[in-house]
A and B are shown apart, each in its own frame.
Chain A
Amino acid sequence: NAGVTQTPKFRVLKTGQSMTLLCAQDMNHEYMYWYRQDPGMGLRLIHYSVGEGTTAKGEVPDGYNVSRLKKQNFLLGLESAAPSQTSVYFCASSYLGLAGATGELFFGEGSRLTVL
């Protein structure tokens, strides 16, 4: 059972470089999310998707773009990386729960990004 897989797991970038984080899930979940986690800040939602071809902004979307071309994949892009984007990034997916509520989130193992 692969669940939610994130690549890469580690990356070091220089300021201004671009990169893409890939998230893949094999559970046929409709919802997918990208979070960033910084010390003392908990999990902050960057962008999310409620289905193939749809994306929406979360709490901290600036500096990031996303795409959901296939149901199983959710890509997070940094067009011009900044030191403030140094963080651990988690992808998650969920099914649609009762009464439209979000089901439990299944998280990937995380991607640690350092921007110098």
Chain B
Amino acid sequence: GQQVMQIPQYQHVQEGEDFTTYCNSSTTLSNIQWYKQRPGGHPVFLIQLVKSGEVKKQKRLTFQFGEAKKNSSLHITATQTTDVGTYFCAGYSGYSTLTFGKGTMLLVSP
């Protein structure tokens, strides 16, 4: 079945440093979604990418979808303590459900 791998599992940065998490799928994806889960909270949708090579920005967050539609990345510029949480990617490849990666936990020290 479809697998979505996400790296790193965990990253600890100093406030102001950049952060990137990567997502790789075993199959070509129709679209990919990104979610953020704050500690003790529930996952919240951030964005969806659909087109090959697509790049979207949300303030300090930049999302990319690979040309082959099998990988994606989330980059945060100049992290803040409010960025703390776990970031999940989730890919859709034509079945009825998304397949989630295991997430990258981000810790930001002031």
Contacts and interface: CB of A to CB of B under 8 A. Distances in A.
Contacts of B88: 42-43
B9 A107 contact: no
A99 interface: yes
B96 A31 contact: yes
B31 interface: yes
Given A45-B97, A97-B31, 10 more contacts: A40-B102, A41-B102, A48-B97, A50-B96, A56-B96, A90-B43, A100-B94, A102-B98, A105-B98, A107-B44
B64 to A, nearest CB: 19
B12 to A, nearest CB: 16
A109 B41 CA distance: 7
A95 interface: no
A2 interface: no
B68 interface: no
B9 A101 contact: no
Interface centre among A42, A44, A98, A109 (most CB of B within 10 A): A42
B96 A102 contact: yes
A64 to B, nearest CB: 16
Interface residues of B, number: 24
Category for how many chain A residues contact B: 20 to 34
Interface in A30-69: 31, 33, 35, 40-45, 48, 50, 56, 58
Contacts of A42: 6, 88, 100-103
Contacts of A41: 102
A100 B41 CA distance: 29
Contacts of B97: 33, 45, 48, 58, 102
Nearest to A98: B50
A47 B47 CA distance: 24
B28 interface: no
